[in-house]
Structure 1
Amino acid sequence: MLSNKGDECEDALPIADERYSIVCDGVGASGLTKHCLNDKKTGTQVRHTSAYLGSRIVCNSVNDYYNYNLEEFNRTLLNCDSVKEVIEKFVNGLKNYVIESLNRKMMEWNITPSNSKTFKDFPTTLASTVYISNGNKTSVLVIWAGDSRAYVLSRENGLQLLSLDDAVDSENKMNSDSQMTNVILYGDEFKLNYALYEVTSPCLIFCCSDGCFDFRKSPLHFEYALLYTIINCKSGNSENNIGEILAENILDVMCREIGDDTTMAGVIVGMSSIDDLKNTYQPRMKEFESTVEKINTYINDLNEYKRESDEKNKTIRLYASEFETLVYNLVTSLMNLDSSLDEYTWLASVKDYNKYKEKIESASRRDYTEETYGDDKARKLCMDFLVADYLKNKYSQRMRSYKDSNCDIISAGKYLSMCAEMLQHPSFKKNVKLQNNYDAESELNINFIVSILIELSELLNSGDPIISDLWEQSKYLSPIWRDERNKYLADGSLTHRFEQVIDGHAIQPFVSSLTDKELIEYRKGIQEKSQKQQVPDKSAREIIDEFWMKNKEEIIDNFIAYNGDIYSNKYETELYNLEHIRLYKEANQNLPSISKKIEDAQSNVNSVWDSYKDLYQLYTKASLKGVL
């Protein structure tokens, strides 16, 4: 018997002799509640989790029950008419004895029962094997609850499972990764499973907690680790018996570095020395080595492909919104172009594209009167606002880099507040000579200006987005930015795009709330005048939106599959992170091939596992089994 953490872990110290083996693993997730108890040995108080206490109570009670009843059980079993009745009476007696032990400890330690749905009192698993000798035959009665297991390791068939985890869909899974459906605990109903087997000598029969096998890639890896440990078993100068020597080697080779609690207990049948052990399992090791190497390669491939798939899906989740916005804006721009779209087959091949393109062209050819477009002054104001927003967006990255440096950036509100303070400064009149002399009227004007500055400062500090936009608009509409504004107004492609925005045929992410408000008011005026003239049909923007909503999935799929250059300057792609767009497209393009690799790798794993599990899943062939 062995335990990698001694008496410190939630596994109880295992119990094993030539009659039986017992392993109990406290369920940490539901047994986190700590209880304060009096230590009779030291006279001090100690604190232990409910899981820690549960594993020890159950392990000790099972041990006591076996000691009291096993001799009578064996005698009755050899001379009975119904093996099933005798076994079920024995298992039922064990269950009742465990329940009595749990009840007794709750009262002895004065523990208030938990009413929580999550946290339980004394939750633990159990795996035990009772060895029944009858001449040359050895029968094994396995009793368990939870996901601790019983195994036999034979020369001919390798590792075979004698128990079935109390977990969701455990009979169909290669690894134990499901939530448990049954454990021993105080106060709630639990079940004990049992199964009876005849085993062939020589063999190893043992019980173990899930820490021994859970972190292994597969049951084949667990068997290989056992075989490797046996073949390389070192006895040194130890005078211990064969079981103790094997336990020490398993602890050193298999369990020492495992983070989880690991507990194992069992018997060696038909072998009396370490050399016997090695000679018995050497042929199995030679036969099995290539099989485990094969499944190890397949599992590594499968895990790598799953990792790649997870990374691609993460990329898609991160950049989906950004990607969709780009595609929508590209569709809006391309549908409004007068030029041919032959190079943009990803859009032109969409169903109903030609029909919607004709609708947009028809809307664009309408002969609106000067009154319908509104006056030039309102339109020019919208254009000025768009240019100011464009400049703000263009230079915002530079300003952010200033803020990241040690530069002292003064907010607009603070700036105006400082101006107001300067005008009120006692030394202002003495040290500052203005063009106009001070008089009573100028004094009043200054006081008025101060009050205005203070009010503006408070407004700017209020966080109102419209006020903030007004400040930014004022800055980029000031004379100092005149040359920069004129440069962009002279750019025909840029002003054409801005005209599209003003008319509602395109959108731009950099448009501020203030500008958007002005644009809405402008278009509202145009719409009212258009309705007066009874202009028919929908606007180009509405047509594009209808086309987008109807064909969105196909448009995005086509764009993902398209490998041409769509990153033309005219589509303002500086407003998007092109690396994100590239990664998103690449992830979507690669996922189908990765999924196929996962499917093939899983098929390879299943092929090896299906061949192995016919012998491994011995519990399906138990001569007698049941649940009580």
Structure 2
Amino acid sequence: MGVWTEKQRGHGEDAEPLFLHHWSSGSGLLGVFDGLGGSGGRLVGQTRDGKERTSAWIASRCARAASEEWFQHSIDHGVQRNPESYQESLIGGLRRVGGLRHSKVNNKLRRELPTTAAVLDYQVAADRVSWQCLWAGDSRCFLLVPDEGLQQLSRDDAESGDALVLLHQDPPMTNVVSADGAFQINGARGEALFPAVLLCATDGFFGYLETPALFEHVLLDTMAKADSQATWASLLAAAVASYTGDDATLTLAAFGFADYAEIRDRFAGRATTVRRDHRDPLDGLTERADITATRLQLWELYRAGYERRMPQGQGGER
């Protein structure tokens, strides 16, 4: 399932969500890509219908296409997928874009075709799913399971790894995909028994909420209210549009469930817990000091579970 919304219709700098599954091998790829409008905000060309496009808009689409090609090539030729080969594919895909108008201003803050990338390269077995999480920037990969809730599988390329700090201070990214090749693809591996949900999201989904737990609440609350996968996607799109200040993209795959009704039923208890313990305590608070203190208390309750699988450094295995 994928969800994709634009802050400004027709000008969203997130690429559409990527979700691929190769049936005979039981492997697949989920991915999201957020073009960086600050460093990539200059206009570089036009579409065939005359719409001006920014470097960021083009970058996210090129990264998405390169990711799909990387996965397809590995399937067709039996090539191993790893951070190094993925980085090479991204650089090649971005550098194939020709005819861009170059700025006459030498601005070191500008990157050539800058974008985030967060992908989950997964493999399904009889009773479990394993994955390779690959990323650069602040788009994220997650695992969602009924008993333990939402767990972050990537680690933002920023000075802080604290998800609450990142929500409220928004420090600059230290590593992003770009055509100059001056970036690193981080990698981390893991596995989980069924049932499980893997997902990737850009910061439009999780970066405009009071606490990290509220992203899980949005996922589970809309899930509980939906009677089908299509309705869940629609409710998620409406929910994120009500609070985000950015484009927002999400892609997910669920494993070990018979149908959507079972997904909803298996997460019903967790949805109640998250609402009671992490959303309700913030309701009705108006004083900033009270909100800040409550937010810190709630994060301490949630943090250990949320960070259980998060890499400790820049990449690594957990």
Shift of 1:288: 2.6
Indicate the SS of the match to 2:157. coil
Shift of 1:127: 0.8
Q: Contact conserved, 1:25 with 1:209, CA < 8 A, in 2?
A: yes
Q: Please name the residue that 2:35 is paired with.
A: 26
Q: 2:191 pairs with 190, 198, 201, which one?
A: 198
**Distance across 2 between alignment mates of 1:620 and 1:257:** 26
Aligned pair in 2 of structure 1 residues 263, 166: CA closer, same or farther (>3 Å)? same
Aligned pair in 2 of structure 1 residues 280, 7: CA closer, same or farther (>3 Å)? farther
Q: As a proportion of its length, which structure holds more strand?
A: 2
**Distance across 1 between alignment mates of 2:138 and 2:235:** 24
**Distance across 1 between alignment mates of 2:235 and 2:46:** 36
**Distance across 1 between alignment mates of 2:55 and 2:17:** 18
Letter of the aligned partner of 1:190 in structure 2? F
Max Rg structure: 1
**Distance across 2 between alignment mates of 1:256 and 1:297:** 17
Q: Please name the residue that 1:356 is paired with.
A: none
Q: Please name the residue that 1:583 is paired with.
A: none
Indicate the SS of the match to 2:65. helix
Indicate the SS of the match to 1:289. helix
Indicate the SS of the match to 2:113. strand
Q: 2:267 pairs with 259, 281, 295, which one?
A: 281
Aligned pair in 2 of structure 1 residues 157, 621: CA closer, same or farther (>3 Å)? farther
Q: Please name the residue that 2:299 is paired with.
A: 609
Shift of 1:104: 1.7
Q: Please name the residue that 1:517 is paired with.
A: none
Shift of 1:245: 4.1
**Distance across 1 between alignment mates of 2:123 and 2:192:** 10
**Distance across 2 between alignment mates of 1:621 and 1:117:** 30
Q: Please name the residue that 1:112 is paired with.
A: 102
Q: Please name the residue that 2:171 is paired with.
A: 178
**Distance across 2 between alignment mates of 1:29 and 1:175:** 18
Q: Please name the residue that 1:412 is paired with.
A: none
Q: Contact conserved, 1:7 with 1:13, CA < 8 A, in 2?
A: no
Shift of 1:296: 1.8
**Distance across 1 between alignment mates of 2:243 and 2:301:** 31
**Distance across 2 between alignment mates of 1:609 and 1:247:** 27
1:474-499 C-alpha deviation (Å, 9 max, x unpaired): xxxxxxxxxxxxxxxxxxxxxxxxxx
Shift of 1:250: 1.4
Q: Please name the residue that 1:11 is paired with.
A: 14
Q: Please name the residue that 1:326 is paired with.
A: none
Q: 1:146 pairs with 128, 137, 152, which one?
A: 137
Q: 1:52 pairs with 49, 57, 62, which one?
A: 57
Indicate the SS of the match to 2:288. helix
Shift of 1:263: 0.6
**Distance across 2 between alignment mates of 1:61 and 1:611:** 40
Q: Contact conserved, 1:143 with 1:192, CA < 8 A, in 2?
A: yes
**Distance across 2 between alignment mates of 1:180 and 1:271:** 37
Shift of 1:294: 5.4
**Distance across 1 between alignment mates of 2:264 and 2:100:** 52
Q: Please name the residue that 1:217 is paired with.
A: 210
Q: 1:93 pairs with 65, 82, 85, which one?
A: 85
Aligned pair in 2 of structure 1 residues 130, 229: CA closer, same or farther (>3 Å)? same
**Distance across 2 between alignment mates of 1:129 and 1:273:** 22
Aligned pair in 2 of structure 1 residues 104, 72: CA closer, same or farther (>3 Å)? closer
Residue 227 of structure 1 pairs with residue 230 of structure 2 = no
Shift of 1:269: 1.3
Q: 1:248 pairs with 229, 234, 237, which one?
A: 234
**Distance across 2 between alignment mates of 1:163 and 1:279:** 28
**Distance across 1 between alignment mates of 2:186 and 2:123:** 18
Q: Please name the residue that 2:24 is paired with.
A: none
Residue 132 of structure 1 pairs with residue 123 of structure 2 = yes
Matched residues, percent identical?
24
Q: TM-score, normalised by structure 1?
A: 0.45
Q: Which runs of 5+ in 2 are unaligned?
A: 22-27
Q: Contact conserved, 1:141 with 1:197, CA < 8 A, in 2?
A: yes
**Distance across 2 between alignment mates of 1:249 and 1:46:** 30
**Distance across 2 between alignment mates of 1:38 and 1:207:** 28
Q: Contact conserved, 1:37 with 1:109, CA < 8 A, in 2?
A: no
Q: Contact conserved, 2:217 with 2:279, CA < 8 A, in 1?
A: no
Residue 65 of structure 1 pairs with residue 54 of structure 2 = no
Indicate the SS of the match to 2:90. helix
Aligned pair in 2 of structure 1 residues 163, 63: CA closer, same or farther (>3 Å)? same
Residue 291 of structure 1 pairs with residue 300 of structure 2 = no
Aligned pair in 2 of structure 1 residues 228, 35: CA closer, same or farther (>3 Å)? same
Indicate the SS of the match to 1:62. helix
Q: Please name the residue that 1:304 is paired with.
A: 288
Letter of the aligned partner of 1:102 in structure 2? L
Q: Contact conserved, 1:170 with 1:178, CA < 8 A, in 2?
A: no
Q: 1:35 pairs with 31, 34, 44, which one?
A: 44
Q: Please name the residue that 2:308 is paired with.
A: 618
Shift of 1:295: 4.6
**Distance across 1 between alignment mates of 2:42 and 2:30:** 28
Letter of the aligned partner of 1:278 in structure 2? R
Aligned pair in 2 of structure 1 residues 169, 249: CA closer, same or farther (>3 Å)? same
Indicate the SS of the match to 1:271. coil
Indicate the SS of the match to 1:160. strand
Q: Please name the residue that 1:207 is paired with.
A: 200
Indicate the SS of the match to 2:133. strand
Letter of the aligned partner of 2:268 in structure 1? Q
Aligned pair in 2 of structure 1 residues 172, 153: CA closer, same or farther (>3 Å)? closer
Aligned pair in 2 of structure 1 residues 218, 103: CA closer, same or farther (>3 Å)? same
Q: As a proportion of its length, which structure holds more helix?
A: 1
**Distance across 2 between alignment mates of 1:71 and 1:135:** 23
- Residues 467-506 of structure 1 correspond to what in structure 2 (within 5 A)? none
Q: Contact conserved, 1:195 with 1:619, CA < 8 A, in 2?
A: no
Shift of 1:101: 1.7
